[in-house]
Amino acid sequence: MATLCGGFSVWKCSVGVWSRRVLFCGWAGLGGAAPSAARAAFLPGSPVVVDYVVHISVDGLRGDLLKQLLASDPASYPSFQRLRAESSHTFNARCDYTISETVPNHVTMVTGRPVHRPAGQPTTIHHGYTNNSPPSTDVIHGFNVNVPYVASVFDVVHDRGRSTALLLSKAKLALIERSYDVVHGAADLLPPDQGRDKIEFSQAADGDTGGLLTSLTGRLASNPDAYTFMHLHQPDEAGHIYGWGSAPWNAAVAAVDVRLAQLFAAVDARPALRGRLAIVLTADHGGGGGAASGHSDATRIENVTIPFFVWAPGFPPGAEIHTLLANRWDPGATRPDYNAARQPLRNGDSGNLSLALLGLGPVPGSWLQPAFVSAQSGPELHRVAGQLEVRWGVDFAGYVLETSAGLSPESWQLIDQGITAEEGGFKYLVPVESAPAARRFFRLRKP
């Protein structure tokens, strides 16, 4: 938008250009028009809010293997292919740093907490639930003795009067249902009181993904839940018997693809869901590291490499999802611990990301909180006492400021002098001599 500002026609653009890991702002000189070529590059800078989120965990879906399958045999995985094409995603996210087992990672996904306490961090941030074969009496709470009640995504959605569903294809994951039932769920302190049972509908049976889809598509067709968590087991089972990346493992991914097709069909069939439903899909762990048919060694990259898809309006199709997040970086071939300066996107981020999509804040007490590159704290132009300033928020502390007279990729120049810290962020006073004859652009780039 062009706004007149002290004789300059200032084009304020503090929104992100998602796909380039940069934020732009620019201006046109006196009498100049807003640069239309640049305007076309701008996309909404804050996460969109949807009414429904389907949060899916595909058990044992190793990210690099999925990527290879979609490249080598796309016709066998049409729904994953669609998900890849229409979502922002990575095939290189990570599971928990210390544990690459099913149950602890699912607890991490719905609570936003690491399994163990990261070295040097507070004693109140991990959930502490490590048993991969939970006794039928276990609940999540209290395994970290400093956290008597471990809140979840279900608490946040339910306490705001919105419905939740839990669909599980491993019976042992009913640990999650039990932990948030009428006996073990916390009191709802947000009026009106919705009761302690945080999960309106749940279904758990070993191996019955068809039954889960029948329930899910039925609910989507009638009265969709705001938040659904669904677990699909097939790749894990095939991996343990035949090995990750084996032909039966590939077939198990194709079996999950059929379930995704059912979900897409249900969404496509109901116009009221279009643009109002998001799919967040990730995995609890990979597999095949160390032992071809195992995944228990979390020091092996094969066991911790998982995909992460966000299919939602406003999320650019095909974008690398780390570029949309202010505090997450593609880890490459590394396995960063929780204290690393550059955190990868993790499955433990998927719960809070789902809440953000619903327009809700993070799980109370959660530690894994991905932050979007937001419009609110991006670069802004201000005219102060006849000079122009670029200001940006502290959220972008790790970014570099660059300037260009045009938008061609090679024309950007680093500004490494004249940047000062101020309350809540940074500013750069644009030297008078560089004031543009027509226009100049600034951007923050994540190096």
Which residues lie below 8 Å from residue 157, measured CB to CB, with a gap of 6+? 163, 164, 198, 226, 227, 355, 358, 360
- The number of residues making up the chain comes to 447
Distances from the Cα of 307 to the Cα of 114, 142, 195, 350, angstroms = 18, 30, 35, 11
CB of residue 347 to Zn ion, shortest distance in Å:
11
Residue whose CB is less far from Zn ion, 102 or 202: 102
Residue whose CB is less far from Zn ion, 206 or 422: 206
Residue 206 burial (CB count, 10 A): 12
Scan for tokens 């009498």, then name that residue: 31
> CA-CA distance, 414 to 436, in Å (whole number)?
17
CB of residue 204 to Zn ion, shortest distance in Å:
15
CB of residue 362 to Zn ion, shortest distance in Å:
24
Residue whose CB is less far from Zn ion, 111 or 404: 111
Residue whose CB is less far from Zn ion, 45 or 235: 235
Closest residue to Zn ion using C-beta atoms: 102
CB of residue 177 to Zn ion, shortest distance in Å:
17
Which of 397, 393, 353 is closest to 89 using CA atoms?
353
> CA-CA distance, 368 to 153, in Å (whole number)?
12
State both tokens at 220.
């989507």
Residue whose CB is less far from Zn ion, 287 or 370: 287
CB of residue 91 to Zn ion, shortest distance in Å:
18
Residue whose CB is less far from Zn ion, 259 or 439: 259
Q: Which residues bind Zn ion (CB under 5 A)?
A: 59, 102, 236, 284
Check: CB of residue 69 under 8 Å from CB of residue 247: no
Residue whose CB is less far from Zn ion, 102 or 228: 102
Helices (H), 243-377: 247-269, 301-304, 350-357
CB of residue 11 to Zn ion, shortest distance in Å:
50
Radius of gyration of the chain (CA): 23
CB of residue 322 to Zn ion, shortest distance in Å:
24
